[in-house]
Structures are given as structure tokens and as C-alpha cells.
Amino acid sequence: MEKETQKISNGVKDDKKNQNTGNAGDLSPEKAVVGRKFSGIVVSDKMDKTIVVRIDRAKKNQKYGKRYIASKKYKVHDEKNHYKEGDKVVFVECRPVSKDKRWRVIYN
């Protein structure tokens, strides 16, 4: 009995199991889920409503300490076909749009 009931306050039983449960529908603007946000350079704009964006980041070899550039390419949804090759873009994570696209452009 002691294990399941930790504390009784205001006539409500608090269990350890129920302390971390929250109402999923109770998302206020300050609690909204924010995905990852990246910025990079457009490498290709040959597809319709899709651009390929390259992100460069500096990495350091653990043993020798030499710095080098590692890059990764992302397929990003560009609804307006606004961005062209060489433009700098900012994009965020979103629901899957297609097999490879899970990112969308933020327009300024």
C-alpha cells in the first residue's frame, strides 16, 4: 500500500506512474514541439518543388586534432520553387513529404 500511494493532497492520490503523464492535446504556443533547424547552400534545384541543400560543418580528428569539413546533403521541400542554385536557405524538420523529403524551407 505504501509503494503505490506516495502522497495524498487535496483528496487526490498521486502515484509515481501518473506523475509524468501529460495531456497531449494541451499544447500551448510556448510548449509547441520544435524540430531541428539548419541552414545551408542550395546545390541543385532541378526537381519540381524540391531543392538539394548541402550543410558543411567542421569536425576535429580525435587522435591527431586536425580539423576537416564534413558535409551532408538534404532534400528540402520548396513549395514556391523560389530558391535557385547557390542561394543560402534555412529549413526545418517536418512530417515526411516523400520518401526522401522530411524538411521544408522557411521563407523570409
Contact (CB, 8 A) for 42 and 89: yes
Contact (CB, 8 A) for 90 and 37: yes
Q: What is the Cα–Cα distance from 79 to 20, expressed in whole angstroms?
A: 39
Contact (CB, 8 A) for 81 and 106: no
**pLDDT of res. 32:** 61
**pLDDT of res. 35:** 87
Average pLDDT over residues 68-79: 98
**pLDDT of res. 31:** 53
Domains and CATH numbers, the chain: 28-105 (2.40.50.140)
Q: Taking the CB of residue 91, how many other CB atoms lie within 10 A of it?
A: 22
Indicate the pLDDT class of residue 48, thresholds 50, 70 and 90: very high
Q: What is the Cα–Cα distance from 53 to 107, expressed in whole angstroms?
A: 15
Residue ranges of alpha helices (H) inside 1-108 are none
Kindly report, residue by residue over 10-36, the tens digit of the pLDDT: 555 555 444 444 444 444 445 566 789
Specify the higher pLDDT residue, 4 or 30: 30
